[in-house]
Amino acid sequence: MIISNPKLKRLVQKYRQIRLLGQTRALLDWDLNVNLPPKAAQERADQSAYLAELVVDRWMEPEFRRLMDQVKNKKTSLNKEEKAIVRNLEEGARYYFNVPKKIIVEFEETSSKAFMSWKKAKEEDRFTNFLPDLKKLIKLSQIVAQHLGFKSNPYDALLNLYEPGLTTKKCRQIFNQLQPELTKILKKIQKSDHYQAKSGLVSGKLSYPKETQRQLTQFVLKRMGYDFASGRMDVSPHPFTTELSRHDVRVTTWYHQSDFRDSLSAAMHEGGHALYEQGVDIIYSSTPLASGVSLGIHESQSRFWENQVGRNPQFLKFLMPTIQAFYPDQLGQVGEERIIRLFNQVKPSLIRVEADEVTYNLHIALRFQLEEGLINDKIRAKDLPDLWRQKMKQFLGIEPKTDREGALQDVHWSYGSFGYFPTYTLGNLYAAQFAKKMEEDLDLDQLVGQGELGTILAWQREKIHQHGSLYWPDELIKRVTGEGLRVKYFLEYLQEKYKKIYDL
Ligand code: MG
């Protein structure tokens, strides 16, 4: 894209270096997750930390800051895209301009140490081994929040690092609205005659060979419109998507021999993230408009493909002959209804990443309450395992026996990423609101029933993907749906869908 203001042009060139370093670092991380020989972990951590340091230096370069100040004063003379570039740069730089370098470096060092201690603590199921590093990260996050500034709650400053404009108050409103309704839906489903907490089709004697799973996920990804010439699919301990450049957006999945759903759902989820990145207008490449706008909006794209499409009964009917062709011995004689309920199984579970659509956000509500308490010193880190058990009992009616399935289960706190979790719930809410709007323009059920996913992608491309980071989340949701984010669309989606599936 053509930028006429010479100072802004120079800024965008400087930003490009930051982006190149970031993408190079992302390649190291991808390799760490997909290929790295086990003995090379420390060496890779050193390489990655060095690149991270270079990124910090680039953001903190005096010329960068000088240019930012100059451009900020000229804002009125800029066009819409240029203004968005300045806004995004200001947002990106806020952390580096306000937090002292000493703290940033300490944070990086502590979190890379904490990742190791968390990993070991989780393996050994010993929370106390992670506790010292966790305490340090909480303290550092509190300091960071003070430097970033906030109106009423330091947790706001951290939420804002992940989702521009998000506040504790807004999160609280969302979870207060969600929690009782989700519990109600869950209880209704559990009372249904069709309710089955377990299925003989998965996690039992039946085996689904990895190679067959790979072919099936590849088939679905292609059908979704994922461009394999601008990406690839690999295997990693936890599925993820990474954007290494405009034409290199990679996804990973995982294969569980006894449950063929996991690889498919993960690939559709990551595929949704990837479609967003592959769909940004090419003229924005290398500018601060190039990527998806926020974690919440990004997650809405992945959840849409995973749930609104992947778990849609009509889509499963479409996919049924293919699934049966891939697994003739395991599923050849199984009826549609069983497969539909299998993909839409609802039950309280201990592990967030394995949770269904109904209970998932209860896992997030729990983490939100704990994080907010920690950052405000209302909760002590050492009490986390007990509090976790209490809240699991309260929200989901089950309790973990180990901390591995409790306070140690997620990697996020070892990175010091407090304020990240709520973006997952935002993603689910945005997804439902976008889908509701999409249904005014398209017959979603009919399209997925015919496997016509291209029409759906074209809608997303036009309304969401092409804009990259031009519009901020609040602006984007209003532009696309005509109103700000509302909880009710997600609840209506769940109520309608599960009413049909479970005859509620
Ligand atoms: Mg995701």
Distance from the alpha carbon of residue 241 to the mean position of ligand 1, in angstroms? 8
Containing H/E element for 241? strand 241-245
Is the predicted pLDDT of residue 70 greater than 90, yes or no? yes
Is the predicted pLDDT of residue 217 greater than 90, yes or no? yes
Region label for 482, one of left (φ > 0), alpha (ψ between -120 and 50) or beta (otherwise): left
- How many residues in the chain? 504
Distance from the alpha carbon of residue 211 to the mean position of ligand 1, in angstroms? 24
Kind of pairing between the strands at 248-253 and 233-235: parallel
Is the predicted pLDDT of residue 220 greater than 90, yes or no? yes
Is the predicted pLDDT of residue 112 greater than 90, yes or no? no
Catalytic residue among 82, 163, 243, 270: 270
d(CA 180, CA 158): 27
Residue-averaged pLDDT of the chain = 96
The residue type found at 181 is E
Can 270 be counted among the known catalytic residues?
A: yes
d(CA 192, CA 171): 31
Is the predicted pLDDT of residue 347 greater than 90, yes or no? yes
Cα-to-chain-centroid distance, residue 48: 22
d(CA 227, CA 280): 13
Is the predicted pLDDT of residue 42 greater than 90, yes or no? no
Is the predicted pLDDT of residue 203 greater than 90, yes or no? no
Banded pLDDT at 449 (limits 50, 70, 90):
very high
d(CA 443, CA 454): 13
| pLDDT of the residue at 136 | 98
Distance from the alpha carbon of residue 294 to the mean position of ligand 1, in angstroms? 12
pLDDT mean over 11-28: 96
pLDDT tens for each residue of 364-394: 999 999 999 999 999 999 999 999 999 999 9
Region label for 141, one of left (φ > 0), alpha (ψ between -120 and 50) or beta (otherwise): alpha
Of 207, 192, 174, 487, nearest in space to 347 by CA:
192
Contact criterion met (CB below 8 Å) for 499 and 491: no
Distance from the alpha carbon of residue 347 to the mean position of ligand 1, in angstroms? 21
Is the predicted pLDDT of residue 482 greater than 90, yes or no? yes
pLDDT tens for each residue of 154-176: 999 999 999 999 999 999 999 99
| pLDDT of the residue at 38 | 87
| pLDDT of the residue at 475 | 97
| pLDDT of the residue at 425 | 98
